[in-house]
Amino acid sequence: MEKLSVSHMNARFALPNRSFDFLQFKHSIFFLKFPNPNQNPNTNPNLVRLRRLNCSVSDGTVPSSVGATDSSLVVKKKAAEVSSDLKGTSIFLVGMQSSLKAGLGKLLADALRYYYFDSDSLVEEAVGGALAAKSFRESDTKGFYESETEVLKQLSSMGRLVVCAGNGAVTSPTNLALLRHGISLWIDVPLDLVARDVKEDLFIPGSYPEVKDEQFALYDKYRAGYATADAIVSVQKVASRLGCDNLDEVTIEDLTLEALREIEKLTRVKKMIEEAARPF
C-alpha cells in the first residue's frame, strides 16, 4: 500500500494509508509532492503548495481588526523584550479549538516574527482535505493518530514556530514529549465561547445547548492533557484583571500580551536555572 511520508531536510517519516509521496518542509514553506496521473511516472512529481492559511510567515502583514493601535504596539514591544531569551524556541498552543486560540497564535507569530502552523490543518491537507481526514479518522483511528504524531514530530524538530496544536497533541505520552521541544501554553477559552465558534463557523446541526454539551464532553476528555502545558492563558483571568464585564471585550492583543508575559516568566526561570548550574 502506498504511503505518505513527512520529510524535513534528510529526515523522512512514514504516514500510513495515503497515496501521496511525502510532505516536505522546503524554503520555510510546506509542499506536497504527489504523482500527476497525466504525467509519465518516471518523471519528477509536481509540487503543490499548501494553502497559505496553514503556513504564514510573520512579516508584519497578519490582518488585525484593530490595526496599528497602542495595544498592538505594546504587544510588539513585549515580544522584542522576550525574543532575546526565547532564542527561537517554538511555542505550542493547546486547548479547545476557537477563533481566540487561532487569532492569538497568528498575532503571537507576527509579533515574534515566527512562522505559524495549524497542525490539524496540516494533517487534513496531507490526507486530502477535511472530509478525507474525517473518513480516515473513522476508518483507521490508529493510523490517523500516527499521522498526527508524524506531523507534530516534524514541527517539533524546527525552531521559530508558533503551532496551534489539535487535540491529538495531548492524547499520548509520545506527543506530549514532542511538545517539550518547545514551550506549551494552554489557551483556556470558556466553553460558551468555544461552542459559539463551533456553531457559527462549522454550521454544526443541533441547538446551542447540545453543541455546548458536546464541547464540554471533549473538554472533559482532553483536560488532563491540556493541564500538562507549561503555563495557562485564561480568558476569564485576563477579563477579570482588565475589569471587563463581558468576555467579548477581551481582545486578541490582550491575550497575546498575556501569553508573552507567561513566556517571559518561563524563559527567566530557565535562565536562572542555567546560571545556577554554572561552575564557580
Residue 1 included in any domain: no
* HEC secondary structure over the chain: CCCEEEEECCEEEEECCCCCCEEEEECCEEEEEECCCCCCCCCCCEEEECCHHHEEECCCCCCCCCCCCHHHHHHHHHHHHHHHHHCCCCEEEECCCCHHHHHHHHHHHHHHCCEEEEHHHHHHHHHCCHHHHHHHHHHCHHHHHHHHHHHHHHHHCCCCEEEECCHHHHCCHHHHHHHCCCEEEEEECCHHHHHHHHHHHHCCCCCHHHHHHHHHHHHHHHHHHHCCCCEEEEHHHHHHHHCCCCHHHCCHHHHHHHHHHHHHHHHHHHHHHHHHCCCC
Lowest mean pLDDT among 62-76, 78-92, 142-156: 62-76
Core vs surface per residue 46-78: b (16+ CB within 10 A) or e: eeeebeeebbbbbeeebebeeeeeeebebbbeb
Confidence (pLDDT) at 38: 39
What average pLDDT score do residues 188-208 get?
A: 78
> Tell me: the pLDDT tens digits for 114-140?
999 999 888 888 878 878 877 877 788
Q: Which residue has cell 494533517?
A: 123
Sort 109 into a burial class: Cβ within 10 Å, 0-12 / 13-18 / 19+. buried
* Domain boundaries, position 140: 70-262
Confidence (pLDDT) at 226: 96
Number of folded domains that form the chain: 1
pLDDT at 66 over 80: no
pLDDT at 58 over 60: no
Confidence (pLDDT) at 206: 62
pLDDT at 68 over 50: no
- pLDDT band (50, 70, 90) for residue 109: very high
What average pLDDT score do residues 226-253 get?
A: 94
Give the whole-angstrom CA distance, residue 187 versus residue 233.
5
Mean pLDDT of the chain: 76
What average pLDDT score do residues 225-236 get?
A: 96
Distance, CA of 168 to chain centre: 11
pTM of the model: 0.74
pLDDT at 144 over 90: no
pLDDT at 79 over 50: yes
Confidence (pLDDT) at 131: 82
Give the whole-angstrom CA distance, residue 177 versus residue 65.
36
Confidence (pLDDT) at 78: 95
Confidence (pLDDT) at 53: 32
Give the whole-angstrom CA distance, residue 153 versus residue 169.
10
Contact 8, 23 (CB under 8 A): no
Residue 251 included in any domain: yes
Give the whole-angstrom CA distance, residue 94 versus residue 102.
10
Residue 47 included in any domain: no
Distance, CA of 10 to chain centre: 24
Give the whole-angstrom CA distance, residue 247 versus residue 208.
18
Residue 94 included in any domain: yes
- pLDDT band (50, 70, 90) for residue 195: confident
Residue 268 included in any domain: no
Confidence (pLDDT) at 142: 81
- pLDDT band (50, 70, 90) for residue 209: confident
Residue 32 included in any domain: no
Give the whole-angstrom CA distance, residue 86 versus residue 230.
14
Confidence (pLDDT) at 50: 29
Residue 61 included in any domain: no
Confidence (pLDDT) at 57: 38
Confidence (pLDDT) at 177: 95
pLDDT at 64 over 60: no
pLDDT at 65 over 50: no
Question: CATH number, domain at 252?
Answer: 3.40.50.300
Confidence (pLDDT) at 201: 67
Residue 130 included in any domain: yes
